[in-house]
Amino acid sequence: MVGMTAKTIAESRISYSRWMGVSDANHLGFVHGGIIMKLIDEAGGIVAARHSQRSVVTANLDSLIFLRPIHLRDLVTLTAEITYVGRTSMETKVEVHAEEIISGESELKNIAYLVFVALDGETGKPTPVPPLRLENDSERIRAEEAKLRMDHRLAQRKLASLI
Ligand SMILES: CC(C)(COP(=O)(O)OP(=O)(O)OC[C@H]1O[C@@H](n2cnc3c(N)ncnc32)[C@H](O)[C@@H]1OP(=O)(O)O)[C@@H](O)C(=O)NCCC(=O)NCCS
């Protein structure tokens, strides 16, 4: 990371919407969980790629809780941002809201934390990413929480490698 200019969370934050169509839902009109998982992975990946300006791979997706169903014709909005940066890895937080267009009612449906690793374009190996420039206390607290999650994941990874 030496020599790399630090970047703020705001610089890579994204928010975008997708309308849920027939191919996204089952015959009862409930959107498939896999569709939402793909959108979450994509949103987190875009943020990590924007922060690092590198290709990234998903290294970890924490447990994903489907708080409430998302329905056919809902407008799904994904908001994603970096929460923590290691040497080559980045944690992103993705929130999923769904809005029922006619009533205008919007609800939080999912929150997910994903870790991405930046890869060097030539070697395909993990490569350093810019440090994070935290701008306020709220960001600093969230980064500390993220560090605890990272420590927990790495302990889990170590256990998995022993199996
Ligand atoms: C992720 C991957 C590149 C890590 O490669 P590696 O050779 O194990 O590299 P390292 O041990 O040097 O780890 C690189 C970074 O990833 C982090 N990392 C690796 N596995 C992790 C995991 N399961 N959870 C959280 N962080 C992880 C390491 O802590 C390290 O972070 P740091 O540099 O910020 O300290 C490799 O495991 C991989 O290619 N996995 C498959 C990815 C994939 O196919 N994803 C789905 C499609 S995109």
Residue 2 falls inside a structural domain: no
Residue 25 falls inside a structural domain: yes
Residue 78 falls inside a structural domain: yes
Which domain covers residue 20, as residue numbers?
14-162
| pLDDT for position 160 | 84
Atom of ligand 1 nearest to the CA of 89: 34
Question: Is the pLDDT score of 1 beyond 60?
Answer: no
Overall number of domains in the chain: 1
Question: Is the pLDDT score of 51 beyond 90?
Answer: yes
Distance CA 19, CA 161 (A): 40
Counting ligand 1 atoms within 8 A of each CB, the residue from 38, 117, 120, 151 with the most, and so the one to mutate, is 117
Residues 116-154: tens digit of each pLDDT: 999 999 999 999 999 999 999 999 999 999 999 999 999
Task: Report percent pLDDT > 70 for the chain.
Answer: 98
Residue 8 falls inside a structural domain: no
Query: Any idea what the CATH number is for the domain that residue 157 is in?
Result: 3.10.129.10
Residue 4 falls inside a structural domain: no
Summarize the confidence of residues 3-12 as an average pLDDT.
94
Sign of CA dihedral 146, 8, 111, 56: negative
Residue 92 falls inside a structural domain: yes
